[in-house]
Amino acid sequence: GSDSCVQCKVVILGAAGVGKTALTVRFLTKRFIGEYCPTLESIYKYQAQMDDEDVRMEILDTAGQSPGNWKDGYAMWPDCFMFVYSITDRTTFEEIISIKRQVENMRKSTTINGVLVGNKLDLLHDRQISFLEGSELADQIGCRFYEVSAADWTQVTVISDLFCDLYREYRKSR
Ligand code: GDP
């Protein structure tokens, strides 16, 4: 109903330079009605209707900090995880496995809500990771898979979809 409000905390993880900030900004500038919170560095808040519910999303852009370096409380903060690599950089792809493992260790659970995102799809001529490899990794870590480009404004809908997807998975799991 219209009086329900759901909180959903999302953390975006991945190597430096894969486009975590670019994806967040692309998503938020389309329908950003919250405010940037200056005291909690790089937590973005936004509120929107999703599936007839009032959703308050908080998005933590980790700026390259790996989960292994998080303080204990931090590991339990997120409801959902977005794992991002660049399709043009195999190192960032391989890093996802270790990031996922760190998250599992800290949360002492292998079941998490997550999506795997291969970003920089506009740079097809520099592609190092095939779609197939990406989707196989997604199966392996139990996440849904997307390939997107944060640089391409025509992809705004796809990027919105992936955030909505995360939220829906989270709703189902509660
Ligand atoms: P972060 O360190 O993961 O937050 O990465 P940033 O969002 O800061 O992006 C790192 C660099 O990659 C910047 O120069 C971005 O402009 C660029 N970038 C991010 N996403 C894309 C993309 O989809 N395509 C291209 N071509 N460049 C991108």
Does an H or E element contain 108, and which?
none
Specify the amino acid at residue 22: A
Query: Atom 14 of ligand 1 has which residue's CA nearest to it?
Result: 17
Kindly report the backbone phi and psi dihedral angles of residue 20, in degrees, each rounded to the nearest multiple of 5, phi listed first. -60, -50
Would you say 138 and 131 are in contact if contact means Cβ atoms under 8 Å apart?
no
Find tokens 């670019």 and name the residue: 22
User: What is the pLDDT at residue 49?
Assistant: 83
Q: How many CB atoms lie within 10 A of CB 119?
A: 27
Which amino acids bring their CB within 6 angstroms of ligand 1?
A: 14, 16-22, 64, 119-120, 122-123, 149-151
Show pLDDT as tens, one digit a residue, over the chain (174 residues): 445 678 899 999 999 889 988 898 888 876 433 444 444 457 888 888 888 888 999 998 876 566 666 665 667 889 999 999 999 999 999 999 999 998 888 888 878 899 999 999 999 999 999 999 999 999 999 999 999 999 888 888 999 899 999 999 898 887
Mind giving me the DSSP string for 62-77? -TT--GGGS-HHHHHS
User: What is the pLDDT at residue 30?
Assistant: 65
Find tokens 């199966």 and name the residue: 139
Position in ligand 1 atom list of the atom nearest CA 18 = 3
User: What is the pLDDT at residue 142?
Assistant: 92
Query: Atom 15 of ligand 1 has which residue's CA nearest to it?
Result: 19
Question: Model pTM?
Answer: 0.89
What is the distance of C-alpha 150 from the center of its chain? Answer: 12
